[in-house]
């Protein structure tokens, strides 16, 4: 279809509406279809422009890329507004289900209608994104650390003072964001209200094929199911941290200081596994898997050009070191690609390997937060990462490439349906595959020689739970805080107070030092200044176990759920591909039922997966007299 220039198309649409209304003629289904066809063509083109500008802005952070990105977003936002407003003409018209769904999804794209406010909104959003990407904590010796270096140090350090310094140092980047963020909220809310929503939080919760209230209730109901497992894990970890750090970890209220859990946000705790690993002689004697060492050994053997990345020889900033890091990053990404192709999905295109960002650029600032991109809504698939060769990044490449597989699978859908069934689906795909990174899989691809015995399951489950289970309340509270901010329940003067109230209530995690409204700790988490909805990650934590169980069953696996891998199963791949190809063409509940047999978010598969660990944690806490729970002041 030939593209009609934006402004001419707007005039044509609005003129058509005025003429029809003046003539007293009601709109027809044919007119609605023609409108949507043109809207989809134009939005697709604007999306491609935005994708390229966004890629540039995140991989080359400077004033010029920020300007280009904000202008492209501004133009797209204005055009989306014009289309949403023009589409109101068809509100009362009975449309075929697929067409009605497209109009419903279009409505979720509104921003403020005043061009000056749209410009301000996009400039503010881009500025906040850049402030986070350029954030640094500078040590006394003059060394300045970005978030990726801080994450590595906090993952490995066992010095409580160093951890405290890193935590407080990183959280100093965000106070300058406070005023801009408050303005972002105002502008975003104005757009939401102009298009019929109470606030931006309600708009975000409207994208799940249920009412916003039902969506909130669904999240809370599943959390109530999972909370007992989380509290047992929390009690066990708290006790072991006190044993390790003494007074630095001990609190009378039973909460855990946030800086001791292995990353800047205490969102996942897998990095402290060495501190909390089982001490029972039988479990301690069970063979463990050093995945980082195995990966480095295999990559160095298969890709000699990457070997320098694993040594301390030479200048880390040299061209040779950069080339070695790039080779290692590509080798890591190749593991994920091979998993998906083993299931019958097509390999990533050659351009993926040419255009992705696999390592942190030496010559410029870039956002290292991992993300997956489809720049042309067809085949220009990429990841943007700063890959380290370790267990976490091994999981992350499977996760990000899961997005890419989804993006490619639904490219045959009309533009409005080129998305996940809901945003939680998109986040869950790669993680459901990553659950299949079991000892059986690692042995199959040569990363280990022998499969650990059954008694090794508890250590493996504990390591997994430190990420999957520990994340649950964090995944829930980010948007709970934001929904309160958007609704006005939390005012800018109380941003930090409300943030820590939720973290204490849901996570049982407390700041390691006194905080006040001079701080803006939410801004130290990328998804707040990046304005990325976060409930999707909570959904994904549950969906992934539902998808994982469905693919295990499709593969014919029989046995404990936590030991299943479907690497090499074409039957599991067929089931996955069918779900991916549906995109957003039907209600998420329909797609979910076709995949899993259940039409709702279900905590059952996750609880089934961790049942052996849950029983073990209760025994450990009873023996140590570590009482689950904490006191909120």
* Maximum distance among all Cα pairs of the chain, rounded to whole angstroms: 85
pLDDT at 9 over 50: no
CB 352 within 8 A of CB 54: no
CA pair distance 557, 436, nearest whole angstrom = 12
Sign of the torsion angle spanned by Cα atoms 209, 397, 457, 552:
positive
CB 219 within 8 A of CB 201: no
Count of alpha carbons within 13 angstroms of residue 400, beta-carbon side: 27
pLDDT-derived band at 19, boundaries 50, 70, 90: very low
Record the tokens describing residue 184, joined without a space: 């972002």
- pLDDT attached to residue 148: 87
* Contacts of 265 by beta carbon, 8 Å cutoff, 6+ apart: 258, 474, 524, 525
Of the candidates 31, 6, 15, 41, the residue with the CA atom closest to the CA atom of residue 415: 41
Query: Alpha carbon 103 to chain centroid distance?
Result: 27
**Least confident interval from 2-11, 207-216, 272-281, 547-556:** 2-11
- pLDDT attached to residue 455: 76
Q: pLDDT tens digit string along 542-575? A: 999 999 999 999 999 999 999 999 999 999 999 9
- pLDDT attached to residue 252: 96
pLDDT at 12 over 50: no
Q: pLDDT tens digit string along 344-367? A: 999 999 999 999 999 989 888 898
Q: What crossing angle do the helices spanning 423-434 and 391-409 adopt, rounded to 10°?
A: 130
pLDDT at 6 over 70: no
Instruction: Please report, rounded to a whole number, the percentage of residues in the chain having pLDDT higher than 90.
Output: 80
CB 225 within 8 A of CB 606: no
Q: pLDDT tens digit string along 287-299? A: 678 899 999 999 9
pLDDT at 458 over 50: yes
CB 547 within 8 A of CB 541: no
CA pair distance 570, 258, nearest whole angstrom = 43
SS (H, E, C) 556-571: CCCCCHHHCCCCCCHH
CB 493 within 8 A of CB 303: no
Residues facing 383 on adjacent strands:
372
Domain edges within the chain: 6-112, 289-408
> What stretches of 171-272 show up as alpha helix (H) in DSSP?
178-194, 200-205, 212-245
pLDDT-derived band at 110, boundaries 50, 70, 90: low
Record the tokens describing residue 152, joined without a space: 């590595």
The two beta strands, 381-384 and 371-374, are antiparallel
CA pair distance 466, 469, nearest whole angstrom = 6
- pLDDT attached to residue 546: 98
CB 427 within 8 A of CB 539: yes
Q: How far apart are the first and last CA of the chain?
A: 61
pLDDT-derived band at 314, boundaries 50, 70, 90: low
Record the tokens describing residue 420, joined without a space: 């996940």
CA pair distance 506, 371, nearest whole angstrom = 27
Separate counts of helices (H) and strands (E) for the chain: 26, 6
pLDDT-derived band at 319, boundaries 50, 70, 90: confident
Helix (H, G, I), strand (E, B) or coil at 199: coil
How large is the average pLDDT for residues 69-89?
Answer: 89
- pLDDT attached to residue 196: 86
How large is the average pLDDT for residues 591-603?
Answer: 96
pLDDT-derived band at 313, boundaries 50, 70, 90: low
Of the candidates 554, 538, 547, 555, the residue with the CA atom closest to the CA atom of residue 592: 547
- pLDDT attached to residue 20: 41
CA pair distance 345, 328, nearest whole angstrom = 24
Burial (CB count <10 Å: 0-12, 13-18, 19+), residue 189: buried
Beta-strand (E) ranges in 49-203? Answer: 137-138, 144-145
Burial (CB count <10 Å: 0-12, 13-18, 19+), residue 443: middle
CB 557 within 8 A of CB 564: yes
Record the tokens describing residue 610, joined without a space: 């961790």
Place of tokens 């939390």: 490
CA pair distance 310, 321, nearest whole angstrom = 10
Of the candidates 233, 230, 214, 234, the residue with the CA atom closest to the CA atom of residue 601: 214
pLDDT at 113 over 50: yes
pLDDT at 8 over 70: no
Neighbours of 118 (CB within 10 A): 23
Of all residues in the chain, what percent are helix, strand and coil, respectively (each to 5)? 65, 5, 30
The DSSP letter of residue 524 is: G
CA pair distance 46, 5, nearest whole angstrom = 11
Phi-psi region of 516 (alpha: psi -120 to 50; beta: other; left: phi over 0): beta
Reported pTM = 0.87
CB 57 within 8 A of CB 65: yes
Q: pLDDT tens digit string along 234-264? A: 999 999 999 999 999 999 999 999 999 999 9
How large is the average pLDDT for residues 295-304?
Answer: 95
pLDDT-derived band at 302, boundaries 50, 70, 90: very high
CA pair distance 586, 597, nearest whole angstrom = 16
Of the candidates 537, 572, 560, 553, the residue with the CA atom closest to the CA atom of residue 461: 560
DSSP H or E stretch at residue 169? helix 160-170
How large is the average pLDDT for residues 151-156?
Answer: 94
pLDDT-derived band at 443, boundaries 50, 70, 90: very high
Record the tokens describing residue 385, joined without a space: 């990462």
b/e per residue 204-229 (b: at least 16 CB within 10 A):
bbbbbbbebeebbebbeebbeebbeb
How large is the average pLDDT for residues 106-122?
Answer: 82
- pLDDT attached to residue 3: 26
Query: For residue 570, what are the CA distances in angstroms to 341, 407, 518, 554, 575?
Result: 9, 20, 55, 9, 9
Higher-scoring residue by pLDDT: 233, 16: 233
How large is the average pLDDT for residues 278-295?
Answer: 83
How large is the average pLDDT for residues 14-20?
Answer: 35
- pLDDT attached to residue 284: 72
Q: How many residues does the chain have?
A: 633
Count of alpha carbons within 13 angstroms of residue 274, beta-carbon side: 8
Phi-psi region of 254 (alpha: psi -120 to 50; beta: other; left: phi over 0): left
Average pLDDT, rounded, for the chain: 91
Q: pLDDT tens digit string along 20-41? A: 444 468 899 999 999 999 999 9
CB 437 within 8 A of CB 468: no
How large is the average pLDDT for residues 108-119?
Answer: 80
pLDDT at 193 over 50: yes
């Amino acid at each position: 279809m030939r593209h009609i220039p934006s402004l001419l198309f707007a005039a044509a649409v609005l003129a058509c509406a005025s003429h029809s209304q003046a003539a007293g003629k009601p709109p027809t289904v044919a007119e609605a279809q023609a409108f949507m066809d043109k809207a989809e063509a134009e939005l697709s083109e604007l999306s491609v422009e935005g994708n390229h500008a966004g890629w540039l802005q995140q991989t080359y952070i400077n004033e010029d890329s920020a300007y280009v990105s904000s202008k492209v977003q501004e133009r797209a936002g204005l055009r989306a507004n014009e289309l949403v407003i023009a589409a109101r003409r068809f509100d009362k018209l009975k449309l075929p289900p697929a067409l009605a769904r497209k109009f419903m999804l279009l409505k979720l794209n509104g921003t403020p209608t005043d061009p000056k406010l749209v410009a301000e909104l996009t400039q503010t959003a881009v500025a906040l994104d850049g402030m986070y990407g350029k954030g640094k904590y500078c040590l006394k010796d003059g060394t300045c650390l970005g978030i990726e270096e801080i994450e590595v140090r906090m993952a490995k350090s066992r010095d409580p003072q160093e951890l405290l310094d890193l935590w407080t140092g990183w959280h100093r980047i965000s106070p300058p964001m406070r005023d801009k963020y408050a303005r972002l909220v105002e502008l975003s809310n104005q757009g939401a209200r102009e298009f019929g929503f109470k606030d931006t939080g309600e708009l975000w919760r409207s994208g799940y094929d249920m009412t916003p209230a039902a969506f909130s209730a669904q999240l809370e109901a599943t959390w109530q199911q999972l909370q007992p497992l989380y509290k047992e894990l929390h009690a066990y970890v708290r006790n072991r941290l006190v044993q390790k750090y003494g007074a630095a970890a001990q609190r009378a209220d039973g909460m855990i200081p946030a800086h001791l859990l292995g990353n800047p946000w205490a969102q996942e705790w897998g990095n402290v596994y060495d501190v909390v690993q089982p001490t029972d002689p039988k479990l301690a004697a069970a063979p463990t898997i050093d995945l980082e060492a195995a990966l480095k050994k295999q990559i160095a053997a298969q890709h000699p050009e990457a070997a320098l990345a694993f040594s301390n020889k030479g200048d880390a900033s040299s061209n040779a070191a950069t080339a070695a890091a790039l080779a290692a990053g590509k080798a890591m990404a190749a593991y994920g690609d091979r998993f998906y192709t083993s299931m019958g999905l097509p390999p990533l295109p050659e351009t993926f390997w040419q255009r992705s960002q696999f390592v942190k650029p030496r010559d410029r600032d870039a956002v290292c937060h991992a993300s997956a991109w489809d720049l042309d809504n067809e085949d220009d698939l990429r990841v943007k990462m700063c890959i380290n060769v370790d267990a976490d990044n091994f999981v992350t490449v499977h996760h990000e490439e899961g997005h890419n597989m989804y993006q490619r699978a639904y490219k045959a859908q009309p533009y409005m349906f080129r998305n996940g069934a809901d945003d939680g689906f998109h986040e869950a795909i790669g993680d459901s595959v990553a659950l299949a990174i079991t000892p059986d899989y690692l042995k199959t691809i040569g990363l280990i020689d022998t499969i650990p015995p059954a008694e090794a399951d508890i250590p493996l489950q504990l390591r997994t739970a430190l990420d999957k289970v520990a994340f649950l309340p964090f995944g829930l509270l980010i948007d709970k805080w934001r929904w309160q901010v958007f609704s006005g329940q939390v005012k800018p003067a109380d941003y930090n107070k409300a943030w820590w109230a939720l973290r204490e209530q849901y996570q049982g995690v407390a700041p390691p030092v006194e905080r006040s409204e001079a701080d803006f700790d939410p801004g130290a988490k990328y998804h707040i200044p990046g304005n990325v909805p976060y409930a999707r990650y909570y959904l994904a934590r549950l969906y992934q176990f539902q998808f994982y169980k469905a693919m295990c069953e499709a593969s014919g696996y029989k046995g404990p759920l936590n030991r299943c891998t479907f690497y090499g199963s074409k039957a599991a791949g067929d089931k996955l591909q069918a779900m991916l190809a549906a995109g957003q063409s039907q209600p998420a509940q329909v797609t979910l039922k076709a995949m899993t047999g259940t039409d709702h978010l279900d905590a059952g598969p996750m609880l089934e997966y961790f049942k052996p660990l849950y029983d073990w944690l209760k025994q450990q806490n009873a023996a140590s007299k570590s009482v689950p729970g904490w006191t909120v002041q």
